[in-house]
Amino acid sequence: MRVELTGGLLGSWQRRNRVATIPHVITELRKAGNLENLRRLADPSVGPYRGRYPFLDTDLYKTLEGLAYEVGREDAPAGAREFFDEVVALLEEAQAEDGYLNSYFQDPDQPKQPWSDLGWGHELYNLGHLIQAAVAANRRLGDDRLLTISRKFTDLVVRKYGEHGEEVVDGHPEVEMALVELYRETGNADYLTQARLFVDRRGQGKLKHTIFPGEYFQDHVPFRELPSVIGHAVRMAYLAAGATDVYLETGDQTLLAALERLWDDMVATKLYLTGGLGSRHSDEAIGDRYELPSERAYAETCAAIATMQWAWRMFVATGKASYLDVYETVLYNAYAVGLSADGTAFFYDNPLQRRPDHEQRSGAEDGGELLRRAWFGCPCCPPNIVRWMSELQDQVAVARDDVLYVGVYADARITAGDLAISVSTDYPWDGEITLTVENAPAEERTIALRIPAWATEATLALPGAEDETPAPADEGWVAVRRTFVPGDVVRLTLPMAPRAHGSHPYLDATRGAIAVARGPLVYCVEQQDVDAPVDDLLLTPSAVSTAIARQREDHLVLELTAGVAPEPPAELYPVITGASKQSAVQEVPATFVPYFLWGNRQALAMRVWLRTEREG
């Protein structure tokens, strides 16, 4: 099937990616020396290896994957084709005779040898991103140069670490889902077997752990025995996505059972309201159950992408709309917040609160901008954003048998065999989605539309009907089955009343607080939009329910009335006597903005969660 985004918010994100983000990332990659790291393998006079990490080639691979979707377009980004061809040529020249390719370990000045540090060397992680770029280029451009390079490297890995080789795993999962995709592209069963082996070997004592224990690498127990999502957040979600791919190709029910259990536990106890994953800065890790501090949320942008990859695969595996509910939350919040409105600056970590005196930095780096930054010493997130933006249309709909599942709503044209529809909507700002049939077979077909969990009282208007009727959802889907004809119109309406969210009583960081959402969007308040300190604001559910949505530039803000708490005590830990009741001493108008748009103005205070003003 084929999906093309034709407009709306997601379409505008893709245009911004082409016009601003891709040219910016190409410029930064050149400045950072990623191309020189490859070039110096043939010409050491270029200078020493630039950068402190052995996985910087992946920033090129992720960018190439995104470019594979863009360079063939009439409005391709400036310089994109030249960059693509230049990097591919450098990779062809740099690859060793046996297929090995890694500019860090091939560098003659590096003390480490290839394959000497699988815990931190990221060599198979590098290969994974190379494969994904190669498959994208082969499918989208009919260009098999990267596929030839990646297969030569993969065949080396199969010889070295396959069924008859050393039983090892990489410290950073990612290659597993890439190997499955390479199997799908080539039909070579060795690649699927290798992916299965890497999943099955994890937790079997095959990896030498340094700096962090096995839990960090999801390597302390076999995957199927993991009690919960744990350790480095990106590693965890990439591993789970790869394991889901292995299940999809093998039908291994023990894998699916583990994946469903891990997913359910994550959503119930370890995922931020925004869909962010990972609460610990020290090791970029998922914390304990209910350990979700707002101001210290790490919620790395790459972890958001990894969570979406896992969510989409779980939807494909099960057909359950609940996975797409989480996907959508991540897409519009934890992922989207990682990129500035102009497309040229990034968040690495994505907190849900900024204190007035906080200097927002990213990772272990000091200096630089107080909010988003143009680049990082570990720049894994910007190229990851590039590739995911280019691929958004791939996660809109799925055709299975004679059913077309439309799971993500955006202006789009969808073609599934002999059924073609166009989707028109102002989602996520508005909940009306109109589908117009452009082409249809003479037989019955089903169009299944997702009803998000937050969308109560959704309605549906069928072809030929003027009035809308309730759209009862069956496990998150409403199905329209009929013999469609060109011109038929189906209209789904999802009411978008503002919602007040509380949190589980075990979640200490936000116990008794309220957050604001509308549709799939989480909202926050920035100091610029209220005439009282955001730390002193109080909210009630009734204030949220009566909030008014108003247009501001190209987005909707929520206007509501917040209370202002009395002046706090001077003591850090005052003695409390009698009953304590939090009530406002005055009220102020407050404007809440979509969380993904915070941090595009001055570096001032921000909050997603606000204290509750007790009512009654």
Say if residues 42 and 94 touch (Cβ distance below 8 Å): yes
Phi, psi of 206 (to 5 degrees): -90, -10
Percent of the chain as helix, strand, coil, to the nearest 5: 35, 20, 45
Q: Which of 352, 346, 277, 284 shows the shortest CA–CA distance to 308?
A: 277
Q: Which of 128, 169, 90, 194 shows the shortest CA–CA distance to 387?
A: 128
53 sits in the region (left: phi over 0; alpha: psi -120 to 50; else beta) called beta
Structure tokens that stand for 206 in this block: 């095959």
Buried b (16+ CB within 10 A) or exposed e, 469-494: eebebeebbbebeeebeeebebbbbb
Say if residues 532 and 587 touch (Cβ distance below 8 Å): no
Phi, psi of 400 (to 5 degrees): -140, 120
Q: Strands 403-406, 445-450: parallel, antiparallel or unpaired by DSSP? A: parallel
Taking the C-alpha atoms of residue 136 and residue 391, their distance in angstroms, rounded to an integer, is 10
Identity of residue 66: G
Q: Strands 477-482, 445-450: parallel, antiparallel or unpaired by DSSP? A: antiparallel
Buried b (16+ CB within 10 A) or exposed e, 241-266: bbbbbbbbeeebeebbebbeebbebb
pLDDT number for residue 616? 45
Phi, psi of 503 (to 5 degrees): -140, 160
Taking the C-alpha atoms of residue 127 and residue 414, their distance in angstroms, rounded to an integer, is 32
pLDDT number for residue 364? 58
Taking the C-alpha atoms of residue 403 and residue 587, their distance in angstroms, rounded to an integer, is 52
Taking the C-alpha atoms of residue 616 and residue 614, their distance in angstroms, rounded to an integer, is 7
Q: Which of 117, 179, 193 shows the shortest CA–CA distance to 151?
A: 179
Taking the C-alpha atoms of residue 146 and residue 43, their distance in angstroms, rounded to an integer, is 22
- Residue 603 Cα distances to 336, 361, 573, 588, angstroms: 18, 11, 29, 22
Our measurement of the distance from residue 226's CA atom to the centroid of its chain's CA atoms, rounded to an integer in Å, reads 23
Q: Strands 412-416, 419-425: parallel, antiparallel or unpaired by DSSP? A: antiparallel
Assign 287 to helix, strand or coil. coil
Q: What is the pLDDT of residues 318-352, one digit of tens each?
A: 999 999 999 999 999 999 999 999 999 999 999 99
Q: Which of 464, 508, 459 shows the shortest CA–CA distance to 484?
A: 464
Say if residues 336 and 596 touch (Cβ distance below 8 Å): yes
Taking the C-alpha atoms of residue 358 and residue 279, their distance in angstroms, rounded to an integer, is 18
Structure tokens that stand for 49 in this block: 């290896």
Any residues with CB less than 8 A from the CB of 19 and at least 6 apart, and which? 77, 343
* Exposed / middle / buried, residue 25 (Cβ in 10 Å: 0-12, 13-18, 19+): buried
Taking the C-alpha atoms of residue 213 and residue 228, their distance in angstroms, rounded to an integer, is 16
Taking the C-alpha atoms of residue 371 and residue 304, their distance in angstroms, rounded to an integer, is 19
Say if residues 505 and 578 touch (Cβ distance below 8 Å): no
DSSP element (H, E) containing 606: strand 606-607
Our measurement of the distance from residue 347's CA atom to the centroid of its chain's CA atoms, rounded to an integer in Å, reads 13
Low-confidence ranges of the chain (pLDDT < 50): 616
